[in-house]
Every structure is written in structure tokens, then in C-alpha cells.
Structure 1
Amino acid sequence: MELKNYPKITVIMRGYTYEQAMLIIKILSNYNHKIGVEVTTNNPDYLKIIEDGNEQYGDQVYIGAGTVIKKEQAQDAINAGAQFMLGPEKFSDDIFDLAKKSGVITVPGAMTPSEVVDQFDRGADIVKIFPAITTGANYFKQIQGPLGKQKLMAVGGISIDNAREFIDKGASYLGIGSSFFNKSDVRNMDKEALTHSVEDFLKATE
């Protein structure tokens, strides 16, 4: 996957059943790669979701792994077909090496300017500011004053109400978890309501 194709919005799927996750991927496949899907490693079915999702919809939606902490998780995700990997903390050199060899986009987590610079220096494609709700949207403008424009993703506490603000303040990408969909819509697998949520987020971040 080429970095220039990485979508502005990534949906974080944590705690979804296999059936719920596959429905979300199917819905997102209708939006021409505008939204990516992150399947977290603490979901027991995450490898099957990534593999089956890619097999059925991989040419229509980018699917990757989230909460990648260990080299073994990174390798398993790559083997399953993950096109990108996100983590809540810094990535090891081993994870960067695996990803580069496989053409997988890396998005490690950081918070301080030193951590951000360190991860870019080690080979990160994008650095995830986490938790973004703690730093606030202004942090993205402030940190890029001395560092210059960087490929930063805001993750943690992003909602439809503040998504535009984070983009306006300098976040190039957004990772959105539990606030993206109404929990009851996911539980009921309400395709129409879930689709409305997708369209609402796209409008809010245009």
C-alpha cells in the first residue's frame, strides 16, 4: 500500500464480533477507499476478519491491524493481509523492518515531540498522537510549529463533534473508535443506520 493512498479516516473496530465486523467492512467497501478499517489484535477473531475481509473486499477498502505491540502480532497481521498497522505506543525496529519489507504502512503511537521525531526517524509513515483528546486539537498546530508539517493521526476521543476541529488544527488523519457507530446499531447489525453514520462522518470531515 502506498502512503499517498492512506485514507483520512480509519474506523477502529475493537470488541466487534466476526459478523459485525464483516458487515462494517462490507458497508465501507462502498466508499471507494475513503475510510480504512483497523481490526485490533485484542479481538480474538482479528486475523480471520483481516483475512476474510481482504479476500472479499480488499480491492474496495483498506484493512489493517490495530493495537500492534509485539513483533509476532505484526508478522501474523502481515500474513493475514494487513495493509497497515497501528499501535498505542512506539514500534520496535523489528516491527518497522517487517512492515517495510512487506509494503505495510506503519502508524505507531506517540505523544511528546521527542517521541514523534523518534518514530519518524525510525521509519514511521504516520505517527498517531494518542490519546488525542488529552492533548487537544491545538496540540497538532503547536507541535507542527517547530517540527514543520508532519503526517499525524489523531486517535482517542475523536467524535463527529470534534473531528473537523482536529483536521483544521493540523491532523492529517483521524482514527475513530466507539463513537463512530451507535452501539445499538452495531449490536442489531442495522445496515441502514450504520450507513448513515458513515455518511455523517464523511460530511463532517470534508
Structure 2
Amino acid sequence: MNSILNDIEQNKLVSIIRSDRSNEIVEVVHSLYRGGIRIVEVTMNTPGALKGIEKIKELYPDLHVGAGTVLDSETARAAILSGASFILTPTLKQSTIEMANRYDVPIVPGVFTPTEILTAYEYGAKMVKIFPIRTLGPKFISDIKGPLQHIAIMAVGGISIENVKEYLSAGVSALGIGSSLVEDTLVHQGNYEEIEKRASKFVNIVNKVQPSNRL
């Protein structure tokens, strides 16, 4: 569990893949991988998400593939059995955290307030996902890291090329990136080259701001 979380903290970037066409997932991952992304999240409301996770794991053994938009413990278990390396949720639910911990798989629950952050940690989560961060901004991260510096934070919801540096400087452990990286229009157009370019830009910014031994 800790090694995967360490890899997430080292690489900083988690690409969120949400698509209405299951056959597009692998092509998207190809592009992200070529752009330097090594951690992806396939949302569970994507058709064929579980098979997508299995396929990605098969094609890219060195890629960490997580399941996102996990709403309950049953879905968490199904994702884990399909090979998900980690679980992300949009909300805080104790039973889901307990299920992931039972299988020794990292879970990053969605939280929004200091109380929820601490509660998630007390339930057994080692990292939390502040979502949607666009509502709060980077200053919220630096404020929270004062009293709760022992809890790793992933910021999700509104991360873009323009604000990556701000969030890293504020003290986030990781960033979840959705439409600013894997945009629906690009996917539907089959413009995977642009997705690769965007991935490279994000990776380059992270490497300049915070050089590390990436996967």
C-alpha cells in the first residue's frame, strides 16, 4: 500500500479518464503514457471500466491504474479484484475505506472540510482527495497543512496548466487532472496527439517545480 502512495506522491500527477465509449480507454492511455504519465484513474461510470482496468494492467505493467468515482464498498471490491492499484471516491464513506484497507489497497476518499479530512484519516485513509478544489483554491491547501500536516492531500477538480505550480507550492502531495488533460472533445475527435502533448506539458512543469525520481 505505502509503495503505491509513495509513487503517487513522487509522480504527483493522476490522470482521470472518464469516457462514454469503452474502446477509447486504451488509446487514451497510450497517449498519456507517451506523454510521461504513469498513474491513471478509470472512473467507474465509464462503460466497461473493470475490463478497461484489466486491459491497461496487461499492456502497461509499470503503470498504476486506479478506479475512480467509487461510491460504495461493493464497487471498491469489484475494482480491486479487477486489478485496481488504488481507489478514489468523490465522498467520504467509512465502509468503502474499510473494504480497501481489508485488501491492503490504498484509498483516497473525497473530502471538503477539515473535519472530513481528519475523519477520513481516522477511518484509515493515508491520503485524502479535496474535491472540488476549484471552489477553495491553493490557499486552502496551505491553510489546512498547518494543523493537519501529517495527512497527504490530493487536489482534484479544476487543476490546469495555469495553476499546477500554485497547488504544488501550497503543499499538495498529488494532483488529479481531468478535462484539462483528457478532454472529451479530443477523445471523440481521435486527437490523441494533443492529449500526449498536454501530458508532456504537465509532466515538464512538475519536474521543474519539484524534481523527483519518477516511475
- TM-score normalised by length of structure 2: 0.87
Task: Report the CA distance between 1:27 and its aligned residue.
Answer: 2.9
Give 1:55-66 correspondences, 5 Å limit: 55-57=58-60, 59-66=61-68
Q: Tell me: CA distance 1:117–1:155, structure 2 relative to 1, closer, same or farther (3 Å).
A: same
1:8·1:35 contact (CA, 8 Å) conserved in 2? no
The one-character-per-residue Cα deviations of 1:152-175 (angstroms, maximum 9, x if unpaired) are: 010011111111111111111100
The one-character-per-residue Cα deviations of 1:14-58 (angstroms, maximum 9, x if unpaired) are: 1242222111222334467x531111111121111111111221x
Please list every run of 5 or more consecutive structure 2 residues that lacks an aligned counterpart in the other structure. Answer: 208-215
Q: Give the Cα–Cα distance (whole angstroms) in 1 for the partners of residues 185 and 118 of structure 2.
A: 40
Match of 1:23 among 9, 14, 27: 27
Match of 1:50 among 43, 48, 53: 53
Q: Give the Cα–Cα distance (whole angstroms) in 2 for the partners of residues 183 and 204 of structure 1.
A: 23
Q: Give the Cα–Cα distance (whole angstroms) in 2 for the partners of residues 96 and 150 of structure 1.
A: 15
2:41·2:67 contact (CA, 8 Å) conserved in 1? yes
Give 1:184-203 correspondences, 5 Å limit: 184-203=185-204
State the SS of the aligned residue for 1:185: helix
State the SS of the aligned residue for 1:174: strand
Which amino acid is 1:54 matched to? Answer: K
State the SS of the aligned residue for 2:176: strand
The one-character-per-residue Cα deviations of 1:79-107 (angstroms, maximum 9, x if unpaired) are: 11000111111132x32232123231110
2:35·2:198 contact (CA, 8 Å) conserved in 1? no
Q: Give the Cα–Cα distance (whole angstroms) in 2 for the partners of residues 131 and 138 of structure 1.
A: 14
2:38·2:62 contact (CA, 8 Å) conserved in 1? no
Q: Give the Cα–Cα distance (whole angstroms) in 2 for the partners of residues 181 and 56 of structure 1.
A: 19
2:84 is matched with which residue?
82
- TM-score normalised by length of structure 1: 0.91
1:12·1:175 contact (CA, 8 Å) conserved in 2? yes
Bigger relative contact order (CA 8 A; separation at least 6) = 2
Q: Tell me: CA distance 1:186–1:61, structure 2 relative to 1, closer, same or farther (3 Å).
A: same
2:174 is matched with which residue?
173
State the SS of the aligned residue for 1:154: strand
Q: Give the Cα–Cα distance (whole angstroms) in 2 for the partners of residues 181 and 43 of structure 1.
A: 14
2:138 is matched with which residue?
137
2:19·2:25 contact (CA, 8 Å) conserved in 1? no
Q: Give the Cα–Cα distance (whole angstroms) in 1 for the partners of residues 107 and 71 of structure 2.
A: 12
Give 1:87-126 correspondences, 5 Å limit: 87-92=89-94, 94-126=95-127
Q: Tell me: CA distance 1:15–1:30, structure 2 relative to 1, closer, same or farther (3 Å).
A: closer
Identity %: 36
